Every structure is written in structure tokens, then in C-alpha cells.
Amino acid sequence: MRAQRLHQQGSIDDGRLQLDEVPIPVPGPSELLVEVEACAICRTDLHVVEGDLPPVRMPIIPGHQVVGRVVGGGDAVRRHRAGDRVGIAWLRSTDGTCRFCTRGEENLCPHAGFTGYTADGGYAEYAVIDESFAYDIPATADAIQAAPLLCAGIIGYRALLRSEIKPGQRLGMYGFGASAHVSIQIARYWGCQVYVATRGEHHRALARTLGAVWVGGSTDTPPEKLDGAIIYAPAGELVPIVLEALDRGGTLALAGIYLTDVPTLDYERHLFYERSIRSVTANTREDGRALLHVAAEIPIHTQVETFALRVANDALQRLKHDGIDGAGVLDLSR
């Protein structure tokens, strides 16, 4: 099969991914073999490629927003059969027995495995996943449209929960890429007023189209105090700016897996009046199921730009330089 593999971390501008011919993976006893239809690209893929995340396995096939068809499986597979459409997300395994797993916080499992990082992912024609970590995707769903929901959607949904935003309240979003363009649709569905601060006029234009009540530059101050906020951009320097924009009792959720250093905070200006900061770490499978349910209920429409597998380097370069509106998706049919 064809697969884009990372052999050595470095700048994506140097074209770090290499299109290789590798064997089709063999599924384990409880694993599904999935023929990939689409794999959305993610800023986490960029962090893996460029070394913002330490190397775990090399070479590695990136990609963790996979939609495809089951074409085989191990002897212990019980729930799926050939032809079923499934999704593969970032979280792919946990130990199931640690104190985090047993209290419903499997996203914090110290022995978790991750698609496209600790195990090969979806920048390839085939992938494997344990069926207990596969998401059911309707056969009628558009694979290209659905792929960004498997991380951008799930993490955006968890970030909304972590921000503790309530229906009708004022929510700030800082950075407006793939995840934010999904979560704004959920926030608007909940009746929230959404204020977006982001660099790049094309991102600001998309935010306006999706119903933001105010749109400004990445460091601009919203005209109203915010009840909650989410930082999607991997920019630690935004943290004090956003905390100052929060109203009393407001919560800031940090949605990224990577963040540059946060400047020194002033207690009175940034944290007093019970303003708080919460990070977002991966997701639980329940987050994924809940997101897919609400996505169908709204329904969510993802704005996508498609790329062939052979130009995955170009797609990630575009992502790095804010050149994609919405989400980029590798279309394996091209």
C-alpha cells in the first residue's frame, strides 16, 4: 500500500514526509482492517512532524482523523463486519484498569496509545484499529465531510465542555482553524454569542459567515466581557490577554496538545475573581460519541479543502502557514 511516512522530524517546509510502498497492516485479534477513504490533517500532525512532540516511533505514518470501510478483522472481532464504515481518532488504546480509566477519565490514562504518533495512522491506504476504539459512521455520511469530526470536532467539543460555557452565554474563540469552525456551530446551536479573535482576514471572514457576533485580530479585546473562552492557537502569549477578557468566574480552556511558553501572570489582573484555566488532554470515547450525535442533530457542516495523498507535505505546509480555511482532508480516492 502507499503511505506517507515520517522518517526524521524537522520543518515541514523541507518536505519531511516520504511516500513509501509498505505492506498492508495485519490486524490483531480484536482489530479491524480499514480501507481509508479520507484522513483529515491536523495541527497535531504538524507537531509530530516538526518535533514539537518528542519522537516515539520512527518511521511513523501520521494521521488520526480517519474515515474508511472495514475490509477485514481478527478472530475476536464481534461488533463489525466487512463493509461497515468506521472512524479512527487520536485515542486508540488505554490500559482500562488505572485509576483514571476506572473513574471515566481514560483520556488521562498514563499508558494510552495514539493514532499517528505511537502507532501508524491514516496517511495511508489502509489502517488498523481495535474495534472498541472505532467509531460507527453512518454508511450514508460523506467521508470527506466526516473526517474532520474525528479530532477537530471531538477536541472542539471537549474544549467547549472544559470552558464550562452555558447556553446563551458569551464565548471567546482565539484562533479559528479546523476545530473552531466546528465548535462555533455547536456553540451557536446552544444559543451562545461567539466572539472570535484570530489572525488572517480569510479566517475572520469564515467566522463571520458561521455566525460570530464580533470578529477581531488575535490580540484585540472583545467589546463585552466573556463568560468562557477557548484558545485554539498554540500561542502561550495569548493566555494573559484572554484572561483579562474574561468576566468574573470565567473559564479559559486551552485546546491544543502543544503551547508555547505562557508569560508571567499577574494575580489581580488575570486570575482574581475566580477566573480559571483548564487544559484539554485528548478525549474520551464518550466525547467522540457525543460529538458525532450532536453533529448529526445540528447538522454540522465542515468546510474542507481536499488533497491527494501524494501531496500531504504541501497540505501540511498550507496548514502551517494558515493557508487553509476550515479543514484540510486527504482524499484517498485521488
pLDDT at 286 (0 to 100): 97
Other beta carbons less than 10 A from residue 184's beta carbon: 26
Cell triple for 82: 466487512
Closest Cα to residue 253, out of 155, 326, 170? 155
Cell triple for 183: 465548535
Instruction: Give me the phi and psi of 52, to 5 degrees please.
Output: -65, -30
Other beta carbons less than 10 A from residue 75's beta carbon: 9
Looking at CATH, the fold of the domain delimited by 154-279 is given as Rossmann fold (3.40.50)
Q: How far apart (Å, rounded) are the C-alpha atoms in residues 246 and 240?
A: 10
Q: Which residues are 210's β-sheet partners?
A: none
pLDDT at 201 (0 to 100): 92
Cell triple for 220: 484585540
Whether a cis peptide bond, with omega within 30° of 0, leads into 299 is: yes
DSSP secondary structure code for residue 218 in this structure: T
Q: How far apart (Å, rounded) are the C-alpha atoms in residues 216 and 134?
A: 38
Distances (CA, A) of 288 to 92, 155, 233, 291, 294: 12, 9, 22, 5, 10
User: Contact, 154 vs 42, CB < 8 A?
Assistant: no
Distances (CA, A) of 247 to 104, 227, 230, 242: 31, 6, 14, 10
DSSP codes, 220-234? PPPSS-EEEEEE-SS
To which H or E segment does residue 286 belong?
helix 285-297
pLDDT at 233 (0 to 100): 95
Q: How far apart (Å, rounded) are the C-alpha atoms in residues 287 and 50?
A: 28
Q: How far is CA 121 from the centre of its chain?
A: 14
For the whole model, what pTM was predicted? 0.95
CATH of domain 2-150+303-331: 3.90.180.10
190: three-class secondary structure by DSSP: coil
Q: How far apart (Å, rounded) are the C-alpha atoms in residues 170 and 192?
A: 6
Cell triple for 242: 484572554
Spell 8-36 as b/e; 16+ CB within 10 A means b: ebeebeeebbeeeeeebbebeebbbbbbb
Closest Cα to residue 88, out of 288, 258, 260? 288
Q: How far apart (Å, rounded) are the C-alpha atoms in residues 213 and 83?
A: 43
Which residue type occupies 334? R
Q: Which residues are 37's β-sheet partners?
A: none
pLDDT at 80 (0 to 100): 97
Give the CA count within 13 Å in the CB-facing half-sphere of 180. Answer: 33
- Stretches where the chain sits below pLDDT 70 are none
pLDDT at 171 (0 to 100): 98
**pLDDT for 159-194, tens place per residue?**
999 999 999 999 999 999 999 999 999 999 999 999
DSSP codes, 99-117? HHHHTT-GGG-TT-EEBTT
Domain coordinates of the chain in residue numbers? 2-150+303-331, 154-279
DSSP secondary structure code for residue 202 in this structure: H
Strands 135-136 and 170-174: unpaired
pLDDT at 105 (0 to 100): 98
